[in-house]
A = this chain, B = another copy of it.
Amino acid sequence: MTKKYRVGILGATGVVGQRFIQLLQNHPQFEVTALAASDRSQGKTYSEACTWRLPGDMPEQVKQIVVQPPAPPLDCNFVFSSLPTDVAKDAEENFARAGYPVISNSSPHRMGADIPLLIPEVNPEHIALIDFQQKTRGYERGYIVTNPNCSAIAIVMALAPLHAKFGITSCVVTTMQALSGAGYPGVASLDATDNVIPFIGGEEEKIEAETLKLLGRINGSTIDAPAMTVSAQCNRVNVTDGHMASIRVSLSNKGSVDEIRAALSSFTADPQQLKLHSAPAKPIIVRNENDRPQPRLDRDSGNGMSVTVGRIMPDNVLDYRFVALGHNTIRGAAGAAILNAELLIAMNKL
């Protein structure tokens, strides 16, 4: 067996940080050797510093690791980052400059012109921006690669095969997002119970911008955005995990409902061909029942890495509509970053 990559986690005590640790437990390519956080947990062991909020127990392997500040050096080959927005920008640059590849789930760098915003099934060729980034910024071995916003990932995974085949010209998205998307403590229970909150700070803008970058074509060192308009309205609903999106699209080449369904259900991409460890057999699962997907029943499909689509039908205003669901802290966050790292290894970038 080959030696495992030594991995650091920045933002290790948060909800996404804990998911990283959970998903990396028993991972064949990675072992967690360093933990860092921006809060008052520095200097304590992880088991002292962190209240474990996922079902089951904190993995034994990380309990005695001492939490470090999120600054280089760290005892690892590369870092996953789920640092808070206000800390992430500088900290991630510091790591990249110090030679560490940074596989980030945080938002500040996502829209940077020289930063790959990556979904391995959607735009693996955007990895080419790394060379440009290193040259521009003078990073030697380090770099920054990001994954999209937790809602954008599920939405764009469903859009990608349609855009490839039929050309999306407009996309109207309304999300119903889970509580875990806000971290911990996040949404107050008095706001969540018997309620819907029609606002998530910055979310609509992120979905609208990231979708265009993700579906853009790499052209030398730039990404050409597609000729597409995107609208997002975002709501927080009383669900623990699993972001739902009601989606309408207009297409350049109208297909039939059956062609839409076929494009979605037959979709596979590089991660499936490369048999990446975290890649689901089916990146998109199309369900035919009239009341699916549902968060409680479908969020864990493909170990939380598949996106489930249902209710595909013609629309009166745009061309087609459907519903998509993804697990927001697995496919939408920690799992996304891990799959990015697996792809980077396969591409000899890590």
- Copies of this protein in the complex: 4
Closest to A310 in B: B198
The one of B186, B198, B318 that contacts A189, using a Cβ cutoff of 8 Å: B186
Residues of B near A176 (CB, < 8 A) are 176, 196, 235, 237
Residues of B near A193 (CB, < 8 A) are 179, 189, 192-194, 238-240, 296
Contact indicator B186/A240 (Cβ below 8 Å): no
Tell yes or no: A317 within 8 A of B by CB. yes
Interface size on A, residues (CB 8 A): 61
Contact indicator B184/A190 (Cβ below 8 Å): yes
Q: Could you give, for residues 229-241 of chain A, a 1 whenever the CB lies within 8 Å of some chain B CB and a 0 otherwise? A: 1110101011110
Contact indicator A197/B291 (Cβ below 8 Å): yes
Contact indicator B190/A318 (Cβ below 8 Å): no
The one of B174, B195, B318 that contacts A239, using a Cβ cutoff of 8 Å: B195
Residues of B near A191 (CB, < 8 A) are 185, 189, 294
Closest to A237 in B: B237
Q: Could you give, for residues 166-190 of chain A, a 1 whenever the CB lies within 8 Å of some chain B CB and a 0 otherwise? A: 0000111010100110001111111
The one of B56, B198, B323 that contacts A294, using a Cβ cutoff of 8 Å: B198
Tell yes or no: A270 within 8 A of B by CB. no
User: What is the bound-complex CA distance between A189 and B56, given in angstroms?
Assistant: 19
The one of B55, B292, B316, B323 that contacts A296, using a Cβ cutoff of 8 Å: B55
Question: Which segment, of A90-98, A297-305, A340-348, faces chain B?
Answer: A297-305
Tell yes or no: A110 within 8 A of B by CB. no
User: What is the bound-complex CA distance between A111 and B56, given in angstroms?
Assistant: 35
Residues of B near A174 (CB, < 8 A) are 174, 233, 246
Tell yes or no: A280 within 8 A of B by CB. no
Contact indicator B246/A235 (Cβ below 8 Å): yes
Residues of B near A187 (CB, < 8 A) are 188-190
The one of B189, B297, B318 that contacts A238, using a Cβ cutoff of 8 Å: B189
Contact indicator A179/B190 (Cβ below 8 Å): yes
Known contacts A185-B188, A186-B188: A316-B53 contact under CB 8 Å: no
The one of B198, B238, B297, B316 that contacts A244, using a Cβ cutoff of 8 Å: B198
The one of B185, B235, B296, B323 that contacts A233, using a Cβ cutoff of 8 Å: B323
Contact indicator A315/B231 (Cβ below 8 Å): yes
Tell yes or no: A321 within 8 A of B by CB. yes
Known contacts A238-B237, A317-B171: A246-B198 contact under CB 8 Å: yes
Q: Could you give, for residues 295-336 of chain A, a 1 whenever the CB lies within 8 Å of some chain B CB and a 0 otherwise? A: 111111100000000110001111001010000000000000
A-B contact list, 24 entries, CB within 8 Å: A53-B190, A55-B299, A56-B297, A56-B301, A172-B172, A179-B193, A184-B188, A186-B190, A189-B189, A193-B193, A193-B296, A194-B238, A194-B240, A195-B295, A195-B297, A197-B291, A198-B246, A198-B291, A198-B310, A208-B316, A231-B315, A231-B317, A233-B246, A317-B318
Known: A174-B174, A176-B196, A189-B191. 9 other contacts (CB 8 A): A56-B300, A172-B172, A187-B189, A193-B193, A195-B295, A195-B296, A197-B294, A233-B321, A237-B238
